[in-house]
Structure 1
Amino acid sequence: MSAFDYTSTRATAERLIARFGQVGALRRTTSSTDPFNPGQATADHRCTFAMLDYAKKDIDGSLIKQTDQLVYLSTAGLTISPETQDKLIVGGTWQASPVKLNGAVMTIVNVKPLSPAGTVLMWELQTRR
C-alpha cells in the first residue's frame, strides 16, 4: 500500500489561510552567545494566519481564557517553526529598516503542528493578549 501524499492537502491549507486570513509576523528574540557583547536581537518573520475565537465549550478559564484566540498559521513562506517564546504580531504596517511590523503583540501560549505522517500542514497556536 502506498503512502498518502500530503502536498496537495498542504497547498489547500495554504491557499485557504491566504484567502481568508491576514498577514502578520512571528517575532523571535534571541540572546547573544558572546559574553563580551551581551544583548538581544529581535527579528520579525512574515507569516500568514487566520485568527478565530475559541468555541464557548472549549473555554475553561484556566487553560483557555475568554480572551484567547485560536490561530491557524500557514507554512507558506515561513522560515522558522513557531515556539512559545515567540510573539505573534497582528495588524499594523511594515517598516523598511529594520524590517519590523508595528501592530498588536500576542503571546503564544501553546503551539501544535498539524502533521500527519510527519508533514506539517499548518500550525495551531493558542494566543493571548
Structure 2
Amino acid sequence: MANAIYARLQETARRLIEKYGQLGTVTRITPPDPVEGGDGTETAYPAKLVPMTYDQRYIDGTNITTADRQVYISSVGIAIVPTPGDIVSAGGVTYHVLAEDPNNYDGITNVVFIVQGRLA
C-alpha cells in the first residue's frame, strides 16, 4: 500500500520542478531487431526537468566530472523511468544518462528521478 507521505513529496517535487525547471525530453533508443537488423528506434518523452551542477566535493574527475550534471526529472507525467543509456535534452544541451536514482522509497511511488548526465 502506498504511503501518503510519498505522494505529498512527489507533489512537492513536481511543483518545484514546474516552477524552476524547463521543458526537455528523455529519449530512449531501442536496439534493432536481432534477426531483421536495421536501425534502433528513438522515442522522445516530454519531461519537466532541472539540470544542476554537482557539488564540488562529489567531483572526482573519473566517476563524476566537472561537465556532468545532476538532472532532476519530475516523475509526474512521464511515461518511462529514465535509465542509463537514455538521452536527456534541455535548453539545447544533450546529456547521456550514466546513472539513475528513482527515489522510490516504498516500491510504489516514484518521488522524483535524479540522473547523472554527461555531455553528449
After superposition, give the CA deviation of every residue in 1:39-84 in whole Å (9 maximum; x if it has no partner): 2211110011111111111111111111111111111210011111
Across the two proteins, how many residue pairs are aligned to each other? 117
Greater strand share, 1 or 2? 1
Residue matched to 2:69: 69
Over the residues paired in the alignment, what is the CA RMSD in angstroms?
1.8
Whole-angstrom distance in 1 between the partners of 2:110 and 2:101: 10
Structure 1: which 5+ runs fail to align?
A: 92-102
What secondary structure is seen at the aligned counterpart in 2 of 1:110?
A: strand
Structure having the higher Rg = 1
Distance 2:19 2:48 in 1: 10
For structure 2, the residue ranges without an aligned partner over 5 or more in a row are: none
2:99 — aligned with what? 110
In structure 2, how many angstroms separate the alpha carbons of the residues matched to 1:24 and 1:31?
23
Comparing both chains, which one has the higher relative contact order based on Cα–Cα distances under 8 Å and sequence gaps of 6 or more? 2
In 2: Cα distance, 1:24 partner to 1:50 partner: 9
Give the TM-score of the pair, scaled to structure 2: 0.88
Calculate percent identity across the aligned residue pairs: 28
For 2:30 and 2:11, how far apart are their aligned partners in 1?
A: 31
- Aligned partners of 2:27 and 2:42 also within 8 Å: yes
Contact 2:72 2:115 survives alignment (8 Å): yes
Distance 1:37 1:66, change over 3 A: closer
- The offset of 1:120, in angstroms, is 1.1
Does 2:114 align with 1:120?
A: no
